[in-house]
Amino acid sequence: MIMIFHIQKLMNNLHVAGNLVSFMVYIAPLPTFYRIYKKKSTEGFQSVPYVVALLSSLLWIYYATLKSNEILLITINSFGCLIEAIYIVIFISYAPKKARMLAVKLLLLLNFCGFGFIVIFIHFWVKEPKRVQVLGWISVALSATVYIAPLSIMVPNIAGFIFGVLQILLYAIYKNCKAEEEEEKLPAHYVVKPIIIASTNYEIHPVCSLPIQDDNTHVEIITLEDENACAIVEPKEKNDGSLKLIMHV
């Protein structure tokens, strides 16, 4: 008998401690919403955690009504419904149009349609002995999502942090490596100009044009006597930048 009394007392103390922790969780966003109120802007904050928290409080109140002697559970979650409703009203008042519409849609979808569906499901499809157990598991799962909801923002930031660290490591490893610069080969310029030999007054016209890489190209002239006058320009040696000009006169 004494053991049962101590266990009951311990359970009551745990209930009170749980209510105190829940109270602190509910009032934790107060500085955020005071900032929203002062600046008249939501500053990129999301409404999802507060809408889900409101649904969680509603479910815990419904859960408490199915059990007996759950005054503490009803009181703390009633306070939770009130404070979360205030948060949502402030958010909707100062959010941009797109975020406001999303908050209203979530509020209607979860707290009206979703909560109504759960109540109907528990009342009509779940038998009496299992109602408390099934609703308890649903409430626990939804309470967990209140704490998981911020991960939608946290996960991309964690991924960005990891990739940022990898970039810094790669830079530290390869920062002293010099890239091999390949010399750009410019296209050769073809020169087609007649050459006049002053001593003979002959004008030499090349029958083909070869690339002249620079202005220091050496030209060797060889004169041959022939009835057909023509000039052929060809390289003297490969890649030495000089030309040999054979002239027929």
Give the model confidence (pLDDT) of 32-76 as tens digits. Answer: 999 999 988 888 888 888 998 999 999 999 998 888 778 888 999
- For the ranges 90-104, 118-132, 220-234, the maximum mean pLDDT occurs at 90-104
CA 101 to chain centre: 24
Residue 28: pLDDT above 60?
A: yes
pLDDT reported for residue 236 = 45
Arithmetic mean of pLDDT, 175-202: 51
Mean pLDDT score across all residues of the chain: 74
At residue 1 the predicted structure's pLDDT band, cuts being 50, 70 and 90, is low
Arithmetic mean of pLDDT, 112-136: 89
pLDDT in tens, 230-246: 444 444 444 444 444 44
Transcribe the chain into DSSP letters: -HHHHHHHHHHHHHHHHHHHHHHHHHHTTHHHHHHHHHHTS-TT--SHHHHHHHHHHHHHHHHHHHSSS-HHHHHHHHHHHHHHHHHHHHHHHHS-HHHHHHHHHHIIIIIIIIHHHHHHHHHHHS-HHHHHHHHHHHHHHHHHHHHHTTHHHHHHHHHHHHHHHHHHHHHHHHTTPPPPPPPP-PPPEE----EEETTTTEEE-BSS--EE-STT-EEEEEEE--SS-EEEEEESSTTSSEEEEEEE-
Q: Which residue has the tokens 């964690």?
A: 158
pTM score, whole prediction: 0.57
Please state, for a pLDDT cut of 70, what percent of the chain lies above it. Answer: 62
Neighbours of 230 (CB within 10 A): 14
Q: Where is pLDDT greater, at 217 or 87?
A: 87
Residue 78: pLDDT above 60?
A: yes
pLDDT reported for residue 80 = 92
Of the candidate ranges 3-17, 39-53, 110-124, the one whose mean pLDDT is the lowest: 3-17
pLDDT reported for residue 107 = 93
Of the candidate ranges 6-15, 125-134, 153-162, 228-237, the one whose mean pLDDT is the lowest: 228-237
- Quote the CA–CA distance of 59 and 63 in Å, as a whole number: 6
Q: Which amino acid is at 63?
A: Y
- What contacts 196, CB < 8 A, 6 or more positions away? 202, 203, 204
Arithmetic mean of pLDDT, 76-93: 93
CA 60 to chain centre: 36
Q: Where is pLDDT greater, at 208 or 21?
A: 21
Residue 179: pLDDT above 80?
A: no
Q: Would you call 99 exposed, middle or buried from its count of C-beta atoms within 10 A (0-12, 13-18, 19+)? A: middle
What tokens appear for 91 in the block? 């958010």
